[in-house]
Amino acid sequence: MHEKSVELLNKAIADELTAVHQYMYFHFHCDDQGYDLLATLFKRTAIQEMLHVELLAERILFLKNDVEMVTSSAVKKINNVEEMLKMATEMEQESAKDYNQWANECSANADSVSKKLFESLVLDEEGHFSQYDTELNNLKRFGDRYLALQSIERSKIRDTATIAVQ
Ligand SMILES: [Fe+2]
Ligand SMILES: [Fe+2]
């Protein structure tokens, strides 16, 4: 039932899983470098992509097929914050473009539920794009001061924690 939809839904799962891995990799490195705001943003987005996998998987099972839990590409070992944000904005733009197209393909194959699912994912991916794009613009506008501020915020939290313990 709906072979074309199942193929597209599985392709989407591979892209979402790739995003989960990539964003968690970025999360680890932002956390390690003391950039708390970005570390949290990458982790939160990774969790949202994982929830996308769940929605896509539920649809595949409803269509009496099975889920291919593979990624579409390996994690890129990028440790520079500006490069991370650039890559993340490109990934989100690509997802929004693909999902718009795949929504149309599902519609052409008389599968309106999968079409609606892809359309709702487009909305989320555009939201992710907007968040990453805002951070990228802040970084370009304020440069190192933007990154320094994130480290200072962490120091404040650490100080407070120490006082609280005493
Ligand atoms: Fe997603
Ligand atoms: Fe996304």
Ligand nearest the Cα of residue 49 is: 1
Neighbours of ion ligand 1 (CB under 5 A): 16, 49, 52
* Ligand lying nearest the CA atom of residue 16: 1
CA of 95 to the centre of ligand 2 (A): 7
Q: Which pTM does this prediction carry?
A: 0.91
SS (H, E, C) the chain: CCHHHHHHHHHHHHHHHHHHHHHHHHHHHHHHHCCHHHHHHHHHHHHHHHHHHHHHHHHHHHCCCCCCCCCCCCCCCCCCHHHHHHHHHHHHHHHHHHHHHHHHHHHHCCCHHHHHHHHHHHHHHHHHHHHHHHHHHHHHHHCHHHHHHHHHHHHHHHHHHHHHHC
Domain ranges in the chain? Answer: 3-165
Question: Given this model, what pLDDT does residue 151 score?
Answer: 75
In the reported structure, the alpha carbon of residue 129 is separated from the centroid of ligand 1 by a whole-number distance in angstroms of 11
Q: Which residues of the chain have pLDDT under 70?
A: 156-166
pLDDT at 98: 98
pLDDT attached to residue 165: 47
CA 131 to ligand 1 centroid distance, Å: 14
Distance in Å, CA 156 to ligand 1 centroid: 33
pLDDT in tens, 45-73: 999 999 999 999 999 999 999 999 999 99
69 C-alpha to ligand 2 centroid (Å): 18
CA 40–ligand 2 middle distance (angstroms) = 15
- pLDDT score recorded for residue 161: 56
CATH superfamily membership of 3-165:
Ferritin, core subunit, four-helix bundle (1.20.1260.10)
